Homo-oligomer: A and B are copies of this chain.
Amino acid sequence: MKMAYVKNAELARFTFDALTRCGLEKSEAEIAAEVLSYADSRGIDTHGIANLDSIYVHKLRCGAIDAKAKGRWLREKGAVALYDAEKQLGLVAAKYAMERSILLAEEFGIGCVVVKNSSHFGAAGYYAKMASDKNMIGLSMTNLGSQAIAKPLNSAKNLLGTNPISLAASAGEQQDFILDMSTTANSSGKIKLAARQGQGIPPGTLFNKDGDSVEDPNAYLDGSGHLAMLGGAQATGGYKGMGLAMLVDILCGCLSGADVGPATGEDEARDTTVDNNIGHFFLTINTPWLRDTGDFKRSMDDMLASMLQAPTFLPENEIIYPGIPEVRTAKVRASQGVPLDSILHGRLDALAETLSIPAISVI
């Protein structure tokens, strides 16, 4: 598929223009542009500008996200706080909430903020990295609110979301560790991306009602292919992926008052105009209160370097850890630009016309 290449700053400009046109304040549109740029610049193509039209603008225009919502703190006590996003853009609510958890960690050694009535917050790693950039450990999670798009073991009904977990911890000389993973075997975004780009998906990530693996990503879109939980079958630990997804629903949903997939799911997920009452969970640990930063980073470096230097079974293979592929991609894209496939590019051109904003300039 033919790709157009776009400078990251131009994608951010486009996001900013689109969201201010939808009624967002400039400061909030800047945050959103920054969070989406984080994803696009690092190759997390499923969580960047690809969602601008289909999720953010779509939901802003139909009122499922409220451009004027300011959110409010419902509970603030000690090192924990509950934020009601009041249908605010998830990208903005999440950044405010993570900032607060960092402030709490500075005061108490650890800070925990949960959010309800929010919306899609982009790449979970952005928020976790906010803490690791300050030499703390950051943890972020989101559920999918009332949407249920995955069937745990034996279920014929969608019950769970892709419910991602991200943890970021900074190293010294090695690349920082940034885990950002869905708790399904694959994310819905990657399957949609494969469908858009006409590619197959690996066996073991989608299955049909007979339990057989399906490699056509369109099966997910037409409802005949079901997302496998991380771990796959019962015998290979599929109940662990299910358990992790539930862990995320408990921390993001039951704890905050946001919706949780199992209790609401499936049918609502097909209606993209509803407010899904998504919940998030943010945790910051003030690392230096437990271990001196130099010692912590030496431990991180020892661990990470040992992994990179370990022998592989096949000489052509390498061992990498979460955080490395993204930094590699970021280096390439900083010079070459971010690739946009023609379908996405066409969608964004159409969005520009709809909103009367300048179309994206390619390199």
Contact = CB atoms under 8 A, between A and B. Distances in A.
Contacts of A235: 202-205
Which 7 pairs across A and B sit closest by C-beta, in order of nearness? A202-B235, A80-B109, A78-B109, A263-B302, A254-B299, A204-B236, A179-B243
A175 to B, nearest CB: 13
Contacts of A287: 255
A299 B204 contact: no
A211 interface: yes
B159 A310 contact: yes
A244 B179 contact: yes
Given A202-B236, A240-B230, A155 B319 contact: yes
12 contacts: A155-B307, A159-B310, A169-B254, A179-B243, A203-B235, A205-B235, A230-B237, A246-B322, A253-B299, A255-B285, A257-B295, A262-B302
Interface in A36-89: 75, 77-80, 82
**How many chain copies does the complex carry?**
2
A133 interface: no
Contacts of A242: 321-322
A232 B204 contact: yes
A280 B224 CA distance: 43
Interface residues of A, number: 90
Interface in A273-331: 285-287, 289-291, 295-296, 299-300, 302-304, 306-307, 310-314, 317-319, 321-322
Contacts of A159: 306-307, 310, 319
B77 A289 contact: yes
